[in-house]
């Protein structure tokens, strides 16, 4: 009996508790708001601002600056646009308003030196025609700012040397804008080549071609245009970064169709061959008169690597072939320009040298100058090591 009453008691307690529980669950589900009160999902974290940011002045608001570089600031961790330099004030005002740049921080090519008085500017990014790179880099360094200069570094070896000397005497950093050194597919290709994944490297082929319509700075000799300078440089740089070597001799050919007025001043197509100390032979071609084609292939003793879209802003695809097996390597792409600007910003904050200082631009200019000599003379040109 006592057991029974105890059972009855427990059962009653259980039922009471159960009823209470069910009732309370029903109540809370009914009251629970379907949307968060401020429409902000609770798991979303407010980002912390970076401890330090680096202020960038963009010089030359052309296609690259407006279509790639300015939008890339949104993907950058620490680089911020703080000043603009342009020959067209109305355009500059519009760009400043779009990207939150203070309108008092707009300059032109005559007032360029006033950047020296703008403490918000840490680094100047030169995105001008190639013939203006040296002058604006040197003036920027003399104004006491670090400089990122677009490729090709300049139009001659002498200009490159002046730029390097100017950086040294100003005690400021000079980096050349080789965005692919920050791009995961190209970086992986370098690792695979260097780690012997393909066996001993033997041959590399690369092409970088596009159809350039006039008017375009690329078609003007006086502005430093030409397919070798504009797109062939990517092949030259890739041959150097894939092998980790400097070429010892080069050959080259150029073609300039007489019936195409676009090529009054610069060749339409250029091909070149580089011979490296390890024995690697690398052949490249570049053109302003072909459909878009940007890729390279590295052939080693035991494997082959293909990087499709190698030199583009996006869309790289990396394939590795060992014996009969071809595999595609899946990597997460990045915004090349944001990665490049963050890298230089970090170097500035940490007082470190960048991955591609002036010497890297000079090394490419040496090779391109030798290719031009080979084209002119019809001879193989030796490069001093």
Q: Which region among 3-11, 70-78, 128-136, 260-268 touches ligand NDP (by CB under 6 A)?
A: 128-136
Contact 275, 247 (CB under 8 A): yes
Please tell me the distance from the alpha carbon of residue 89 to that of residue 103, in angstroms, as a whole number: 10
- What's the order of all strands across the beta sheet hosting 174-177? 106-107, 79-85, 54-59, 123-126, 146-150, 174-177
Please identify which residue in 11, 52, 88, 94 interacts with ligand NDP, judged by CB under 6 A. Answer: 88
Closest listed residue to residue 285, CA positions, set 298, 301, 302, 273: 273
Closer residue to ligand NDP in complex, CB, 139/151: 151
| Residue of 107, 125, 136, 234 marked catalytic | 234
Contact 179, 340 (CB under 8 A): yes
| Residue of 107, 112, 125, 151 marked catalytic | 151
Is the preceding peptide bond at 76 cis, omega within 30 degrees of 0? no
151 is annotated as an active-site residue: yes
Q: Which residue is nearest to ligand NDP (CB)?
A: 62
Please tell me the distance from the alpha carbon of residue 308 to that of residue 185, in angstroms, as a whole number: 10
94 is annotated as an active-site residue: no
Q: What residues numbered 144-163 form the site for ligand NDP, per CB under 6 A?
A: 150-151
Q: What residues numbered 170-189 form the site for ligand NDP, per CB under 6 A?
A: 177, 179
Please identify which residue in 50, 53, 64, 197 interacts with ligand NDP, judged by CB under 6 A. Answer: 64
Is the preceding peptide bond at 215 cis, omega within 30 degrees of 0? yes
Residues in Cβ contact with 34 at an 8 Å cutoff, skipping those fewer than 6 apart: none
Q: Which region among 40-48, 56-64, 70-78, 192-200 touches ligand NDP (by CB under 6 A)?
A: 56-64
Taking CB under 6 A as the rule, does residue 217 contact ligand NDP? yes
- Report DSSP state, residue 180: G
Residue with tokens 């646009």: 81
Give the shortest CB-61-to-ligand NDP separation in angstroms: 3
Please identify which residue in 50, 53, 62, 295 interacts with ligand NDP, judged by CB under 6 A. Answer: 62
Using CB under 6 A, count the residues that bind ligand NDP: 20
- Strand, helix or coil for residue 236: helix
Give the shortest CB-238-to-ligand NDP separation in angstroms: 13
Is the preceding peptide bond at 251 cis, omega within 30 degrees of 0? no
Contact 282, 239 (CB under 8 A): yes
Q: What residues numbered 68-87 form the site for ligand NDP, per CB under 6 A?
A: 86-87
**Active site amino acids:** 151, 234
Binding site for ligand NDP (CB under 6 A): 60-65, 86-88, 127-130, 150-151, 177, 179, 217, 223, 230
């Amino acid at each position: 009996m006592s057991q029974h009453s105890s059972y009855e008691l427990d059962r009653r307690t259980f039922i009471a508790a159960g009823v209470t529980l069910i009732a309370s669950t029903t109540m809370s589900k009914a009251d629970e708001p379907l949307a968060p009160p401020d429409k902000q999902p609770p798991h979303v974290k407010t980002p912390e601002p970076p401890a330090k940011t680096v202020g960038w002045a963009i010089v030359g608001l052309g296609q690259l600056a407006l279509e790639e570089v300015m939008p890339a600031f949104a993907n950058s961790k620490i680089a911020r646009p703080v000043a603009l330099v342009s020959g067209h004030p109305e355009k500059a005002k519009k760009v400043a308003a779009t990207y939150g740049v203070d309108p008092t921080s707009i300059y032109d090519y005559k007032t360029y030196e006033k950047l020296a008085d703008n403490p918000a500017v840490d680094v100047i990014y030169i995105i001008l025609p190639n013939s203006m790179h040296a002058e604006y880099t040197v003036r920027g360094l003399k104004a006491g700012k670090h400089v990122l200069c677009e490729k090709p570094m300049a139009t001659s070896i002498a200009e490159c040397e002046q730029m390097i000397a100017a950086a040294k005497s100003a005690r400021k950093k000079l980096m050349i804008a080789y965005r692919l050194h920050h791009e995961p597919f190209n970086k992986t290709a370098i690792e695979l080549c260097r780690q012997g994944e393909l066996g001993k490297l033997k041959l590399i082929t690369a092409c970088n071609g596009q159809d350039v319509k006039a008017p375009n700075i690329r078609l003007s000799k006086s502005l430093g245009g030409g397919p070798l300078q504009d797109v062939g440089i990517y092949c030259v740089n890739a041959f150097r970064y894939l092998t980790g070597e400097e070429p010892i001799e080069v050959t080259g050919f150029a073609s300039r169709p007489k019936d195409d007025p676009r090529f009054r001043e610069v060749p339409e197509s250029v091909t070149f061959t580089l011979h490296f100390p390890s024995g690697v032979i690398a052949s490249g071609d570049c053109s302003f008169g072909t459909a878009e084609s940007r890729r390279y292939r590295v052939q080693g003793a035991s494997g082959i690597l293909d990087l499709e879209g190698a030199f583009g802003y996006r869309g790289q695809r990396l394939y590795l072939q060992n014996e009969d097996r071809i595999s595609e390597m899946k990597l997460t792409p990045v915004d090349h320009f944001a990665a490049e600007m963050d890298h230089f910003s970090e170097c500035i904050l940490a007082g470190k040298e960048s991955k591609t200082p002036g010497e890297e631009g000079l090394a490419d200019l040496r090779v391109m100058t030798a290719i031009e000599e080979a084209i002119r003379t019809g001879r193989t040109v030796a490069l001093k090591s």
